[in-house]
Amino acid sequence: MYAPLTPEYYAIPGTQRCVFRIMQERGDTQAWNLYWLSKPETDCLLLRHDEWFQHYQSLSPDQTLAFYEALDTEVINRLSLASVVALPPRQAIPLLAAARLERTRFYALFGGEVWRHTMLGRLFLAARLEDSHSSKPETAADIVWIDFHTRHPTLKNGTLHHHR
């Protein structure tokens, strides 16, 4: 999981059937990863659990349907978005940068390229969190650089190439 804690920690206090508990019960790691990547304000729930409803805005029914459809949508090299967000953060970053997210309805509903940039920023955070839990020191070869101004970056032989 990309988030620092499991969905249970983000759950609505005193409520058994909230989206976070459902994801936790079903072991739906890909949905939880995509949700955490897409909604950074979710992290505020950990700080202000007593004021949960002031920091949380649920997805509308249409957004929820588009969210789950997006998980099943092929976005790059025959991989679904669920397959991409199931990968470790450093592997997911270049794939998400090159993914055809516009194939999903959720792309338009969640801000288009702003959504991609939000998710990439969160993936970099997830990678740093993962690094903080490993004892292996980071090297220059481990760093992935993304140029957010390119239209279609691709990964070839472990190197990210940009097409204008």
Output the tens digit of pLDDT for each of the chain's 164 residues. Answer: 898 888 888 887 777 777 888 888 888 899 999 999 999 888 877 776 666 666 677 788 899 999 999 999 999 999 999 999 999 999 999 999 999 999 999 999 999 999 999 999 999 999 998 887 664 544 444 444 444 444 444 444 444 444 44
Please name the residue that has the structure tokens 């459902």: 22
Dihedral (C-alpha) 119, 124, 125, 126: value to the nearest 10 degrees? 90
Could you tell me the two tokens for 138? 């980071």
β-strands 79-80, 74-76 pairing:
antiparallel
- Nearest CA-CA partner of 95 in 52, 37, 48: 37
39 backbone dihedrals φ, ψ, rounded to 5°: -125, 80
